Amino acid sequence: MNNPQHPSESDLALLAGGEASRVRRLLLDRHVRGCEACQETVAAYRDLRDDVAEGDLPGVNWNFLAPEMRANIQVGLEAGACVGTSPAASRWAVTHSWASAGPRLAVAFATLVLLVVSGFYVRDIRTRPATVPADATPVLESTSTGVGIRIADKSFMLPSHSDTASNQTVSARGDVEARVVDDKGSVTINNVYLQ
């Protein structure tokens, strides 16, 4: 992908994730529409992103963390307000009262910016699961061709052996059992679990 006629790999990854700037996206879209190789690269990055969105940071409750982060910032603001000033600083403050507010204002302003950025970030993370296809419910399947799992349009089947008798039994608990007798006359039982 070092060909100067193709966009860089990082640009294609940003495009796949919907994170390229508007202008850049227009330019990239124009190229990708006419370039089969780049279309494949973008599709591969989209698949990877979907997979990561499904399973990344599984234990983090962002709804819970958002108010906690805001509360921490508030505590920081209040702590800043409680810090006393030296006599020299007080004298300086009398003569430069507007300027004396500068550091506190700067801290407050910086904190406010942090709050806004944090809030934006938290909102962004929370919306990520929406990129997972709605029909991504795992389905356990037992068919005449084999047993396996289907997730959205992806299917991972364990095919039946065409030359041996097979018996498959589905348990409502969430697993399927497939039995085959091999050419040496031994039974092997494979179990596939929904989870």
Partner 1 sequence: MSICSKFGAGALWALAAMAGSLLGQDTPLDAANSVKIDLPADAPLNLISTTMGDSRATSRGGAIVLDLHMGLTLRNSGFKHIRGVTLLITAQEFAPGGKGSVARPSIDVPPGENFTLPIDIRLVRPVRESSGPLVRVQLDGVLFDDLSFFGPNKLSSQRALTFWEVEAQRDRSYFKQALQARGENGLRQEILASIAKQADRPQLDVSLTRNGRATGAAVPATDHVAQFAFLNLPGAPVQPLEGWAAISGNEARSPQIEIVNNSGKPVRYVEIGWLVKDKQGREYLAGSVPASETTMVLPSGQHTKLRQDTALKFSRQGRPIEIDGMTAYVSQVEFADGRVWVPSRRDLDSSPLLRITAPSPEEQRLADIYAKQGLAALVAELKRY
> How near is the Cβ of 31 to partner 1 at its closest, in Å?
17
The phi, psi pair for 151, rounded to 5°, reads -125, 115
> Could you tell me which of 114, 157, 128 has the C-alpha nearest to residue 53?
128
> Could you tell me which of 116, 115, 134, 125 has the C-alpha nearest to residue 63?
125
Binding of partner 1 by 48 (CB under 8 A): yes
> How near is the Cβ of 161 to partner 1 at its closest, in Å?
8
Binding of partner 1 by 143 (CB under 8 A): yes
Binding of partner 1 by 130 (CB under 8 A): no
Binding of partner 1 by 60 (CB under 8 A): no
Binding of partner 1 by 140 (CB under 8 A): yes
Binding of partner 1 by 62 (CB under 8 A): no
Q: Could you tell me if 108 and 160 are in contact, meaning their C-beta atoms sit under 8 angstroms apart?
A: no
* Residue closer to partner 1 (CB basis): 86 or 186: 186
* Residue closer to partner 1 (CB basis): 40 or 68: 40
Residues 152-191 that bind partner 1 (CB under 8 A): 154, 156-158, 164-165, 167-174, 176, 179, 181-183, 185-191
Among 7, 13, 32, 38, binds partner 1 (CB under 8 A): 13
Binding of partner 1 by 56 (CB under 8 A): yes
Residues near partner 1, by CB under 8 A: 9-10, 13, 40-41, 44-45, 47-52, 55-56, 134-135, 137-144, 148-151, 154, 156-158, 164-165, 167-174, 176, 179, 181-183, 185-195
